[in-house]
Amino acid sequence: MARKVVNRKELRAQVEAAEARGKTAKKAEKPAKEKKEKAVKEKKVAAKKPSRKKTVKEARMKAYWGVFNPAMKRLAMFEYADKKAAEKKAGELGATHFIQLVKEAIAE
């Protein structure tokens, strides 16, 4: 699969010849009215300023101790200060149950 060698000089000559033909044809076709219309400058439209995104308020969180089974199902919840009660509950349920810190959003 041989590739064809591109002769850039020939391509450039062809493009320049086409541009020259296009410019001469356009000059002959343009009437005087179009030149006057083009002379009138169009107003520049100001670009839209990016809008500010609303900052999302961070939700306040409250910590609890949760008692979980091996399948990660929460069986009980205790206040953060009642860690001993949560450990006692996990011990009563069995050796495979454990406690873990749980954070939940406070509804205001």
The tens-digit pLDDT sequence of the chain (108 residues) is: 677 778 889 999 999 999 988 876 655 555 555 555 555 556 677 788 888 888 888 889 999 999 999 999 999 999 999 999 999 999 999 999 999 999 999 987
The 3-state DSSP class for residue 106 equals coil
Please state the three-class secondary structure of 17-57 as a single string: HHHHHHHHHHHHHCCHHHHHHHHCCCCCCCCCCCCCCCCCC
Q: State residue 59's pLDDT score.
A: 87
